[in-house]
Amino acid sequence: MTSIKIYDVKENKISMVDKVEKPDAEWKKLMSKKQYEITTKNGTEAPGSATFDNVHEAGIFKCVRCGTDLFRSSTKFESGTGWPSFYDPVSTLNVVEQQDKSFGMVRTEVLCARCGSHLGHVFDDGPKPTGKRFCMNGFALKFVPEREL
């Protein structure tokens, strides 16, 4: 197994963890059809279908596939796009950014560093302090309130 460093919010430290690697067929069995299509096949959801608009409490948005901490609710903002948007990840260790040339565009894709799950894309039109808009697929995330961490 390959190990990587990620930031663990509950422990408030950087930890070494094993990468999560599974064949597509196994991911397909473990998730809903929509979650599988988005996270494993680089799909997207319809705007407004899983926006987490009603989440206003303190907590962490985690990867739906492996549970890696991705975004604090305090960095979530209303972008008007119909997708959950954040201006900063929990740690740059927890996400991977790579060029995406699909659909005739050049964008920056965001993946979970631990399992490679497709999360969405990041753009340079977000609010201060980072100016970034991590435009994520809601079906790629799960929210855990702070009291349950």
Give the active site residues.
135
Cβ neighbours, 10 Å, residue 71: 25
Number of helical (H) and strand (E) elements in the chain, helices listed first: 2, 11
Q: How far apart are CA 6 and CA 112, in angstroms?
A: 10
Q: How far apart are CA 39 and CA 22, in angstroms?
A: 13
Strands of 69-72's sheet, edge to edge? 69-72, 59-63, 141-145
Contact status, residue 45 vs residue 139, Cβ threshold 8 Å: yes
Q: What is the sign of the dihedral through the CA atoms of 44, 50, 51 and 55?
A: negative
| Tokens of residue 118, six digits | 């497709």
Cβ neighbours, 10 Å, residue 69: 23
